[in-house]
Amino acid sequence: MNVQRKPVADPGFEENAKKLTPEKIERVIKWVLEKEADIRLKTFVETCIHCGLCSEACHYFLSYRRDPSYAPVAKIRQTLWDMLKKKGKVDAESVKMYARIAFTECNICRRCSMYCPFGIDMAYMLNLVRRICGLLGVVPQYLQDQANSHMYTYTQAWLAQDDWVDTVQFIEDELRMEIKNARIPLDKVGAEVMYSPHSLEAKFKTNLLSNIAYILNVAGVDWTMPSFDGWDSTNQAMHVGDNETMGMVERMHFEAAMKLKVKKIMTSECGHSFRAAVYDGSRWLGWKEPPITYLQPTQFFYELIRDGKIRIAKKIKEPVTVQDPCSIVRNRGLGGMLRSIVNWTCEDFRDVNPRLEHNYCCCAGSGVINYGPPWKFIRMEGGRVKINQLKATGLSSHPVTAVINQSKK
Amino acid sequence: MIHYYKLDMRVMFISEILVQNMYVPDEMKVIKTRDEK
């Protein structure tokens, strides 16, 4: 299938593809599909009957006016099946096409997998394509830069350790202007909870770390954060298909918690961080579940309110709706807790349709928000169905979300 | 053709809602809390 797409100049695709040789491409494809891929690949490829029922589940298919080339089954056909059919003997132009589809036309949201009558995990297969493209270096440049940052600094945003500690001290000083003797305790051994923030909370979204510190101080939670490597919960290497770096980052993250002997980790209000720690990262490291109880803030805050540690003084009066983040609702079932918190804190909650695990992806996840200016309008076009869904609620004020990427939409 | 979509909505995090609406005992307050300013 020859699909036509609007050209997008991304040096991560264009320049890196020039360095590829047919031998290297074939070697990498065979390595991933024959040595790394498990029985799921063979099962899924042989089970799919190309019925196309996954199409209506895909927000790209719906947003691009039901263009059949955006159907999940078509994306697999244009990428993975093409490689299998040609036994890895493909050219650099094909690799660029695979990369474009896997990185910019799929958010690995797994809505299609949920609607497939055979339960075929399309996201698993497109992740394999990302892995192949990642090993070949054909990756959106902005995303690769962030994955490189993880390799060198263990953070997504090229932050040095002294930047991190300075920022925490600054936020603590600010917080003490509101809450008496507020503390952001670093390296407290034996604390109940280790909060693991998003990189951006130490860069240009410091208000988020401040909010978390405010809540945990008022609720009287025994908490801490590491001052050393492993404090950052993000993991863009997972999106690139760089599983080795992904595993290294997650190992560092869990080792930080073990050094501090904490009982639980609470990640930032970020979907992919949760996915990286609980699913992809843990399993790459050989664990079925994380070695330490791992909580998303939605769950932690729900428990604090339920147990009376947080009391609600007043409610938001304006109408609100919610966006269900795929990583924590479709893939973890926290949609009910999210709605409970919204109902406890807002007077006029108007739910979206479809909702919970059936909700549409926001088109920002799995690294797509991080591809930078070259891909901005492609991404925004892909979010058309989400925008229309939110508009249909009739709101003009507050959608509520539990993860960071969606706020950048 | 690329369309530019813009929502006239404000996105809020759960943490932001809690900071604005949770009960803070008077003895913990240094000055007025954020939403009272």
Question: pLDDT tens digit string along A36-54?
Answer: 998 999 999 999 999 999 9
Is B13's CB within 8 Å of A407's CB? yes
Q: Is the pLDDT reported for residue B34 higher than 70?
A: no
Question: Between A311, A316, A346, which is nearest B23 by CB?
Answer: A311
Residue position matching structure tokens 């938001």: A316
Helix spans in A116-182 (H): 122-136, 141-153, 161-175
Q: Which residues of B touch A314 (CB under 8 A)?
A: 21
Query: What does the pLDDT read at residue A405?
Result: 47
Please report the ipTM that was assigned to this predicted complex: 0.90
Task: Place B33 in a pLDDT band, splitting at 50, 70 and 90.
Answer: low
Query: What does the pLDDT read at residue A7?
Result: 87
Q: Which residues of A touch B8 (CB under 8 A)?
A: 396
> What is the pTM (predicted TM-score) of this model?
0.91
Average pLDDT, chain A: 92
Question: Between B12, B14, B30, which is nearest A178 by CB?
Answer: B30
Q: Report how far apart, in Å, the C-alpha atoms of B35 and of each of A80, A194, B27 are.
A: 52, 28, 17
Q: If you ran DSSP here, which 8-state letter would residue A80 be given?
A: I
- Crossing angle for the helix pair B14-21 and A206-218, nearest 10 degrees? 50
Query: Mean per-residue pLDDT for A270-298?
Result: 93
How many cross-chain Cβ pairs, A to B, lie less than 8 Å apart?
116
Tell me the percentage of chain B whose pLDDT exceeds 70: 59
Query: What does the pLDDT read at residue B5?
Result: 56
For residues A344-357, one letter each, b for 16 or more C-beta atoms within 10 angstroms of the residue's C-beta and e for the rest, the string is: bbbeebeebeeebb
Report yes or no: A379 and A107 within 8 Å, Cβ to Cβ.
no
Report d(CA A313, CA B20) in Å as an integer: 9
Query: What does the pLDDT read at residue A2?
Result: 58
Q: What are the φ/ψ torsions at residue A105 (nearest 5 degrees)? A: -125, 15
Report d(CA A359, CA A368) in Å as an integer: 18
CA B2 to chain centre: 33
